[in-house]
Amino acid sequence: MKQTINGISVNTFGDPTKQAVIFVHGFPYDHTMWQDQIDFLQKNFFCVAYDVRGLGESAVGDGQYMLEFFVDDLFTIIAELKLVKPVLCGLSMGGYIALRAMERNQELFSGLILCDTKAEADGDAAKLTRAANISMINNEGLVKFTDMFVTNCFAEETPKQNEKMFLTTLYKSQKNDPVGVKGCIIAIMSRTDTTNYLSQIKIPTLVICGAFDKLTPVPVMRALAEKIPNSEFASIPFAGHMTPLENPECVNDLIKGFLDRNFTS
């Protein structure tokens, strides 16, 4: 079922009486990047996937976003759908949102899945890169930016080995409103550092990283997992930063196993 909550396009799948899992996508994508996981899980879990403000079918507005606003949107969705202790699953930007949501109100959630993300805020070099990306969109257009950025999100072999999936993902990202894309870049730059909070996460946590992730490499994510008490860590073969798309079977099995162990009787 599709609905709009405070300007956010929200999609739900499965039985709402079952354990809820919320999927938060990465930048500059939309909720459809989770479709393989939703198809696999919706018989046993209530899956919620939405488009982050400024992307997909969600409202764009003035493009003046902060990451805090994205967390506010997540909390509004939980309240409006009356979700009880959902599991939160986020990739990259979605992971930034998830970690800040945990820091603000861990009690809302029963589990956490972090895919290809990190807890550190942007340093100076990363801020300069993001500023250059906004300039590229302004001066050369969104297509030029997405060609560069999206390609870098995948393992080197993926565009050739899974051309249809790659091109579909690329073309979807090119259809976003440039104002929303730039707003998300600003929001990502605005995020706080959640590293010191990792040791306070007490709920079951699964950390996933593509073996060939260039943006958040395996050593970075393994170090993140080691800071979260009793977390599980897995490296996904044949995948870069976009693990749910590049190796969906492996990601599905890991997530299903994690959910079955912790959230089914």
Nearest to 255, CA basis, from 117, 84, 112, 158: 112
Rounded CA-CA distance 97/259 in Å is 20
- Bridge partners of 235, per DSSP, are 209
pLDDT single digits (tens) 250-259: 999 999 999 9
pLDDT single digits (tens) 69-99: 999 999 999 999 999 999 999 999 999 999 9
Average pLDDT, the chain: 98
Compute the average pLDDT of residues 159-184: 98
Q: Which amino acid is at 61?
A: G
Q: What is the pLDDT of residue 131?
A: 98
pLDDT above 70 as % of the chain: 100
Q: Would you say residue 148 has pLDDT above 90?
A: yes
Q: Would you say residue 265 has pLDDT above 80?
A: no
DSSP 195: G
Q: What is the pLDDT of residue 129?
A: 98
Q: What is the pLDDT of residue 8?
A: 98
Rounded CA-CA distance 200/145 in Å is 37
**Under a CB-based contact definition with an 8 Å cutoff, are residues 94 and 70 in contact?**
no
Q: What is the pLDDT of residue 33?
A: 98
As assigned by CATH, the class of the 2-263 domain is alpha beta
Cis peptide before 204 (omega within 30 of 0): no
Q: What is the pLDDT of residue 161?
A: 96
Residue 2 backbone dihedrals phi, psi, to 5 degrees: -110, 135
pLDDT single digits (tens) 16-69: 999 999 999 999 999 999 999 999 999 999 999 999 999 999 999 999 999 999
Domain map of the chain by residue range? 2-263
Q: What is the pLDDT of residue 109?
A: 98
Compute the average pLDDT of residues 3-22: 98
Q: Would you say residue 114 has pLDDT above 70?
A: yes
Q: Would you say residue 144 has pLDDT above 80?
A: yes
Using CB atoms within 10 Å of the CB of residue 88, give its burial: 0 to 12 exposed, 13 to 18 middle, 19+ buried: buried
Q: What is the pLDDT of residue 264?
A: 76
